[in-house]
């Protein structure tokens, strides 16, 4: 199996426990499609002493990882990239997918100039696009204030309408309050008048009772005077009869 990664390449790990780390490829195992990278996938191995002079120890070293978990860092643009193939001076060369620069050290100088030109062209395109976007943004900003003014007018009209309605409500509230006060006063006067009527009724009944008592007294007095007159008359008659005898 052909490998696109070679010894001496700077590589970025894109998967696994060491994701995001970079290192240099020290060995390539094409049969297993694995790569050995410095400082990546460190494993501890226990070494047992075989003789009296040796000592048992734990050795830490980097173990191979799968080639699919690694991307080559382009020496021209400095970005991790997939590997493409192109011809330089009649030879097939590994190239960067992003800047078309050569990944092989022999042809880096030859492709570096072309790659720089391509990068500059892309930067110019990006600058033009940015300037165009900035212009469109400025035009939009210029158009927005007119809309804001119309919106401000609408808001002012709505505010004035709301203020008028609030004033009318405020004017209506005192009228309602006065009406309520008038009704309350009328109720109070009715309540006051009712006890007055009751007192007048009581006074009238008291006067009638007094009249009846006075009339009864007069009648009793008359009867008493009549009885006394009759007694005196009877006494006079008896005395006159005695005298005649």
Mind listing the pLDDT tens digit for each residue in 1-37? Answer: 578 899 999 999 999 899 999 999 999 999 999 999 9
Tens digits of per-residue pLDDT, 142-185? 655 544 445 555 666 666 677 777 766 665 554 455 556 667 76
Residue 105 is classified by DSSP as: G
**pLDDT confidence of residue 137:** 75
**pLDDT confidence of residue 66:** 94
* One-character DSSP codes across 199-220: HHHHHHHHHHHHHHHHHHHHHH
Q: What is the mean pLDDT of residues 182-205?
A: 58
Quote the Cα angle for 210-214-220, to 5°: 145
Residue 105 Cα distances to 7, 71, 123, 142, 159, angstroms:
11, 17, 25, 53, 74
Characterize 7-25 residue by residue with b for buried, 16 or more Cβ atoms within 10 angstroms of its Cβ, and e for exposed. eebbbbbeeeebeeebbeb
Cβ-contact 20, 11 below 8 angstroms: no
**pLDDT tops 70 at residue 69:** yes
Chain centroid offset of residue 216 CA? 93
**pLDDT confidence of residue 152:** 55
**If we measure between CA atoms, which residue out of 120, 117, 92 comes closest to residue 106?**
92
Give the lowest-confidence range in 61-75, 84-98, 209-223.
209-223
Partners of 44 in beta bridges = 60
**pLDDT confidence of residue 148:** 47
- Rounded percentage of the chain residues whose pLDDT exceeds 70: 54
Look up residue 216 and give its two tokens. 């009864």
Query: 56 — phi, psi (to 5°)?
Result: -70, 140
Quote the Cα angle for 196-197-200, to 5°: 85
How many CB atoms lie under 10 A from the CB of residue 67? 19
Cβ-contact 104, 76 below 8 angstroms: no
Strands 10-13 and 80-81: unpaired
Cβ-contact 107, 100 below 8 angstroms: no
**pLDDT confidence of residue 133:** 74
pTM above 0.85, yes or no: no
Rounded distance between C-alpha atoms, residue 194 and residue 189, angstroms? 9
**If we measure between CA atoms, which residue out of 96, 63, 92, 68 comes closest to residue 82?**
96
Residue 74 is classified by DSSP as: P
Give the chain's mean pLDDT: 75
**pLDDT tops 70 at residue 104:** yes
How many CB atoms lie under 10 A from the CB of residue 153? 10
């Amino acid at each position: 199996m052909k490998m696109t990664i070679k010894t001496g390449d700077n590589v970025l790990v894109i998967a696994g426990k060491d994701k995001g780390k970079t290192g240099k490829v020290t060995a390539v195992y094409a049969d297993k499609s694995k790569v050995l990278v410095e400082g990546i996938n460190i494993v501890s191995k226990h070494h047992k002493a075989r003789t009296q002079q040796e000592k048992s120890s734990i050795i830490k070293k980097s173990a191979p990882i799968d080639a699919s978990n690694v991307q080559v860092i382009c020496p021209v643009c400095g970005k991790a990239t997939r590997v493409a193939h192109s011809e330089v001076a009649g030879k097939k060369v590994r190239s960067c997918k992003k800047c078309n620069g050569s990944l092989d050290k022999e042809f880096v100088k030859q492709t570096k100039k072309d790659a720089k030109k391509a990068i500059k062209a892309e930067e110019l395109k990006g600058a033009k696009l940015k300037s165009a976007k900035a212009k469109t943004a400025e035009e939009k900003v210029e158009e927005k204030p007119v809309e804001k003014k119309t919106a401000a007018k609408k808001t002012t009209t709505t505010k004035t309408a709301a203020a008028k309605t609030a004033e009318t409500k405020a004017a209506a509230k005192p009228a309602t309050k006065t009406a309520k006060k008038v009704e309350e006063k009328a109720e109070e006067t009715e309540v006051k008048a009712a006890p007055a009527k009751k007192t007048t009724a009581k006074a009238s009944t008291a006067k009638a009772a007094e009249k009846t008592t006075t009339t009864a007294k007069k009648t009793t007095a008359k009867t008493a005077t009549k009885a006394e007159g009759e007694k005196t008359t009877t006494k006079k008659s008896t005395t006159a009869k005695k005298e005649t005898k």
